[in-house]
Chains A and B, each alone.
Chain A
Amino acid sequence: MSAVAVEVRPPLWRRLIGFNALTAVVFGIGGYYLGWFIGHHINGASVAYLGVGGIDQNDLSVFLGYFLGVAGFLIGMGFGVYPWARLRGYPPSLREKEQQGVGRYFGLCTDHKVVGIQYLCGIGLFFFIGGLNAMLIRVELLSPARQVFPAGQYLTLVGMHGTMMMGIMSSAILGPFANYFVPLMIGARRMAFPRIESLTFWLLMAGGAILTTTIFFGGFPTGWTGYQPLNDQANTGMDSYIVFFALVGISMCLLGLNMIATIVTMRAPGLTWSRLPIFCWGVLSTAVLQLLAAPVLIAVLGMAMLDRTAQTTFFIPSGGGSPYLYQNLFWVFGHPEVYILALPGFAIVLELLPVFARKPLWGYRLAVAGMLGVTLLSWLVWQHHLFMSGINSNLRPFYMLSTELISIPTGFTFLCGLMTLWRGQIRFTVPMLFCLAWFFNFLIGGLSGVFLSDVPSDVTTHGSFFSMAHFHYTIMGGLVFTFFAAIYYWIPKMTGFQLNERLGKIHFWVMFIAFNSTFAPLFAAGFLGQARRDVTYPAHLQFINDWVSISAFVLGASMLVFLYNFVHSLLFARIKAPVNPWSSLSIEWQLPSPVPVHNFDQIPVFTSDPYGYGEPSRPSALPAASPAGGSS
């Protein structure tokens, strides 16, 4: 910045209100009740606070409550200041880039590194809640007959687990790690739109809070897909699902837009497309999917909302609509969503392997082509989810083949990863162990996916625990393992402190063994006829289910090992991490830990890609000889 900023004391009212998480919650609750009141005033329907005195069936009041609640939450957070100033023709006037203090983590902050850490903690919180739901599901399935939860509550548990995981975890890599590291990797000081970056995080948090309130409104019976006609028929707990996923969609769309704009316009001089770190390519591919798929989700949820409030008949056959319309539109979003979850995992693995194999990334261009190929093909496969829904049988072969075709670009990334390992000097650090586990897990996930893409075998496995095991191998095996790889790899840079290596290895081995012990038997359970989302199952499947439940509890316990390591290492042990503990050539590791607010004194000039391991020592980026900005 050329001019030295002069501190201006904000007006009294702003100092009193403060704009932080506390005011956001207060305004959010106030906004909810205002919307709820207006909704009841419009509809004149029965009054019930939080379900006391009966379930509130006035969907309009619930939707208005959520919308005004979110608006109040964001205004309380400080997001109203910028548009209000611009509305009156003034430039922005709020200091949003605090440089120090814990307070910056509880409000609107435009420092991409703060937003990254906010995401990591926020996503961790909802991952924990979603995981807790999974544990409760496995408690219920210890016995073939119903014992702990009534069927309706069980369905809500399944729905909350799935929705929370699919919604919140869509940003598991892009939220914490892309926000934090993409600007560093491309030599920028910030994201293209820092306020939008912060907005995406707080929208996600508001959404997560709203989804958890579904239990006050009777829950929802549809699972994470929100299928019609159950969706239209469900009580107001369904509204929480709709608003949650719509907020996730808006957040994803804006996150994708911001990432693409940042990578396209803010790369430092010399950082050509062929020198872009592979992680950034993965982020770019994911961002394209987020930008284009999320609007379809928002639109279909908008239709569902109109069906439930304005009495439109989009999904009601007796009113000229069709539930299949929902299925089609949902999966136009839903299948790219699978790759929104999987692609960042590819990117993490390909980014980390060269560091720990001490070899250049094999087939850089092939890996990029693989990720872009997956991005493209993921739009052409959605109807394989409708094989059993009565689609025109002439369409089945096309979608079967397009689904199988996607294994080719996926194979590119697999091949590049394996060839990078070939004859490498592999260091079995904790992040590397998680990356290696990805190969094993994702292979099983991918191979079992072929069964589901083939019409004949899909007919027998659709809707069973087989498909459930498949997507857990793909999503948990592909995303969550790489999520932990990224945490162990980058936490020393993000915090300046190192995690305990021994505890990390215990976490890995317990998690890896328990994960496979949990989900591999479910393939068998599916083949033997256990249906998804059923609270009861045949008695002869009890042994498998008990085995799986116990394994799941061990899997849950492995998360506690991680949590202990995380909290103990960062809050109590606080052992300073070396600036570059992995001897990485990537530019973020050439910066101090933690990274200064301004990232770079001068924008660097890139001279090569960051994968020159095993070659004569050369830096991938140099300090600029003179002040320079981004390149076009």
Chain B
Amino acid sequence: MSDVAHPATEYSIVEGEPPELMGRNLNSAGHLLASATAFFFLAFVFAYFYLRSLNNDHLWRPKHVDPSLTLGTLVMALTVASALLVRLGVLDHRAARRAQWRLKGALALVAGLIAIVLQFVEWVSAGFGPADGGYASVFIGWTAFNVLFVLGTLFWLENLLATAFRYRRIPSGAPAPGEASGDAGRLGHDIADPLSLVRSGLESLSFYWAFLAGLGVLAWIVLYLI
């Protein structure tokens, strides 16, 4: 029989995981997700330069294919502003200024949502369609998938904000072992300090959102300025 495990030991009485484990996991996941996202959009960067260099049938970018620089800049600026607000929110959270973090987080969410609305406005008012050449295809494809990634990240932000608002009146202390470890065996009512979930998620979100905003700036340079 083993020295390290026994079948009869109940799961509920084995030791708790260290509280910082979820933070570590989310931190590595945020970086890995950013790498995967980079490779995803690399395909669109490749498509842009490849089709531009081929210019098949001189249809890379017909004259009427000219998206609004104003709207594109606004979308990019709002995304960057949203990421910046989340970053400032992290600093507030670290300094135990929870009300300020919630305010900045909410503003970041609103900024991100406005960016998405403006992106829709741009598609509708662009004056060209997806079939209008290589550039139009890359433009529509890149921005459409970017919106999906932004939506996913805003969903993550909303999760953290919703928890922060729901438990805004409970004091936040040092989490107990197992408390914020992300242990899937724990049920909702086991978790005495749900704010620990926010604590571990916010740093990772901030990194990923800043990375995605950076990709937004890259998209803006490639699609509007070059």
A contacts, CB < 8 Å to B: 1-6, 8, 83, 85-97, 99, 110, 189-190, 192-195, 253, 256-257, 260-261, 264-266, 291-296, 298-300, 302-303, 306-307, 310-314, 317-322, 324-325, 328-329, 332, 579, 587, 590-592, 595-604, 621-623, 627-630, 632
Contacts and interface: CB of A to CB of B under 8 A. Distances in A.
Contact of B189 (A93, A293, A300, A313): A93
6 contacts: A93-B187, A190-B185, A313-B130, A325-B51, A329-B46, A632-B24
B122 interface: no
Given A325-B50, A329-B47, A2 B16 contact: yes
A4 B55 CA distance: 66
Contacts of A314: 47, 51, 134, 137-138, 141
A312 B131 contact: yes
Contact of B59 (A83, A192, A260, A319): A319
B40 A298 contact: yes
A627 B15 CA distance: 6
Interface string B151-176: 00001001101111111000000001
Given A265-B28, A319-B131, A632-B24, A3 B178 contact: yes
Interface stretch (B3-11, B103-111, B112-120): B3-11
Given A1-B190, A260-B32, A321 B162 contact: no
Contacts of A293: 39
A306 B158 contact: no
Interface of B: 1-7, 9, 11-18, 21, 24-25, 28-29, 32-33, 35-37, 39-44, 46-47, 50-51, 54-57, 59-60, 129-131, 133-138, 140-141, 144-145, 155, 158-159, 161-167, 176-179, 182-192, 194, 197
Contacts of B9: 596, 598, 601
Contacts of A90: 163, 166, 188, 194
Given A89-B162, A192-B182, 5 more contacts: A1-B16, A190-B183, A190-B184, A311-B129, A596-B9
B4 A630 contact: no
B5 A596 contact: yes
Contacts of A600: 4-5, 14
B4 A591 contact: yes
A1 B43 contact: no
A300 B50 CA distance: 14
Contact of B186 (A1, A302, A313, A332): A1
| List of 3 A-B pairs having minimum Cβ-Cβ separation, nearest first | A320-B59, A89-B162, A299-B43
B4 A299 contact: no
A192 B134 contact: no
A591 B2 CA distance: 5
Contact of B130 (A99, A291, A300, A312): A312
Given A261-B32, A320-B135, A590-B4, A329 B43 contact: yes
Contacts of A332: 43, 46
A97 B11 CA distance: 11
A302 B145 CA distance: 9
Nearest to B133: A320
Contacts of B194: 89-91
Nearest to A587: B4
Contact of B133 (A257, A264, A319, A324): A319
Contact of B21 (A99, A329, A630): A630
Nearest to A264: B28
A97 B4 contact: no
Contact of B24 (A193, A265, A325): A265
B36 A295 contact: yes
A257 B32 contact: yes
Nearest to B25: A192
A592 B140 contact: no
B188 A91 contact: yes
Nearest to A298: B40
B21 A265 contact: yes
A602 B163 contact: no
A599 B140 contact: no
